[in-house]
């Protein structure tokens, strides 16, 4: 009954009202942490970005940081140049892409589902506690999510229209992703495998050939990335990360449960240091979305 009324409202002129309300709610929640002081990792972002462009930033990352690709720090460097380096200004550099994520989530979801479902997805992202907590974090995370979504959006449009320009968009966003965050190629490789599997099963050999060629170009553009990665491997093999722990079932469930829950508690970062006590409520908070996802996949 409620769903039918909501669908009718979406179909009527109320769509843009609901869309705008979701954006306002998302903005209001993200502004809650805008005035908090910077912590260690954020101060490291400021320190790297405050160096000269590009040689100072590159030198700092390669000889002192040992873990990041430079594109985010280039972005933050010029943001600071134009908008200053106060705490609020630095946080706004992340808040802005965080807001762009919301309408992009709607547009991406709209490629595969209805207006009603897309609005629900957009609303869930707008109130997701992980998204809110990291919305104003002075790190690369929001830009990574934004460009990952842009890449998926381009891929879904390509699957429908098979336009070369859409494939080129996907490759461009994936190159940007790789130089924004060093772990991004893990997502990109999974995306390429999924796209190639889909085209192979559909028997579309021509488009599969285009995808393979375009991603060959993508990996060529990643040569500087691999050189950076090799440098970090050589440096980091000489010291240990003391907070690392063995992968366990508990840590995986704990991270997923925190991602889906309404609050953040101890152990958000290192679940093996502060283990989770997973009760009935926490189990179903994690289990129900997974079952719904599987049911929809089977239904398709």
DSSP state of 13: T
Which of 39 and 251 is assigned the larger pLDDT? 39
Q: Are 149 and 105 in contact (CB under 8 A)?
A: yes
* Poorest-pLDDT segment among 179-188, 274-283, 285-294: 274-283
Distance, in Å, from the CA atom of 288 to the CA atom of 138, rounded to the nearest integer, reads 33
Confidence of residue 130 (pLDDT cuts 50, 70, 90): confident
Distance, in Å, from the CA atom of 83 to the CA atom of 77, rounded to the nearest integer, reads 10
Kindly report the pTM of this predicted structure. Answer: 0.80
* Poorest-pLDDT segment among 29-33, 48-52, 101-105, 259-263: 259-263
pLDDT at 81: 95
SS3 277: coil
Q: Is the pLDDT of residue 273 over 50?
A: no
* The token pair that represents 37 in the structure block: 């002081």
* The token pair that represents 198 in the structure block: 């889909």
pLDDT tens profile 138-175? 999 999 999 999 999 999 999 999 999 999 999 999 99
pLDDT tens profile 171-197? 999 999 999 999 899 999 999 999 999
DSSP state of 88: H
pLDDT at 271: 41
Q: Are 85 and 46 in contact (CB under 8 A)?
A: yes
Q: Which residues are within 8 A (CB) of 65 and not within 5 positions of it... i.e. 6 or more apart?
A: 44, 48
């Amino acid at each position: 009954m409620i769903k039918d009324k909501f669908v009718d409202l979406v179909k009527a002129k109320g769509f843009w009202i609901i869309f705008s309300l979701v954006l306002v709610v998302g903005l209001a929640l993200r502004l809650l942490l805008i005035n908090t002081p910077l912590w260690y990792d954020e101060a490291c972002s400021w320190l790297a970005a405050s160096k000269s462009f590009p040689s100072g930033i590159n030198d700092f990352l390669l000889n002192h940081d040992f873990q990041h690709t430079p594109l985010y720090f280039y972005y933050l460097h010029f943001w600071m140049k134009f908008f200053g380096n106060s705490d609020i200004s630095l946080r706004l550099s992340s808040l802005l892409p965080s807001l762009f994520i919301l309408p992009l989530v709607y547009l991406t979801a709209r490629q595969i589902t209805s207006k009603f479902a897309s609005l629900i997805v957009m609303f869930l992202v707008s109130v997701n506690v992980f998204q809110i907590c990291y919305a104003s974090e002075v790190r690369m995370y929001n830009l990574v999510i934004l460009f990952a979504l842009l890449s998926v959006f381009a891929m879904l449009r390509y699957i429908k229209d098979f336009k070369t320009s859409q494939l080129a968009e996907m490759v461009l966003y994936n190159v940007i992703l790789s130089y924004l965050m060093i772990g991004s190629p893990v997502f990109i490789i999974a995306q390429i495998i999924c796209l190639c599997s889909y085209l192979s099963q559909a028997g579309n050999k021509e488009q599969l050939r285009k995808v393979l060629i375009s991603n060959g170009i993508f990996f060529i553009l990643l040569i500087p990335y691999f050189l950076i990665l090799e440098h970090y491997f050589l440096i980091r093999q000489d010291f240990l990360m003391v907070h690392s722990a063995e992968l366990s079932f508990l840590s995986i469930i704990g991270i997923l449960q925190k991602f889906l829950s309404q609050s953040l508690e101890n152990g958000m970062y290192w679940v093996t240091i502060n283990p989770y006590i997973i009760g009935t409520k926490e189990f179903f908070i994690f289990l129900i979305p997974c079952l719904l996802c599987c049911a929809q996949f089977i239904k398709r």
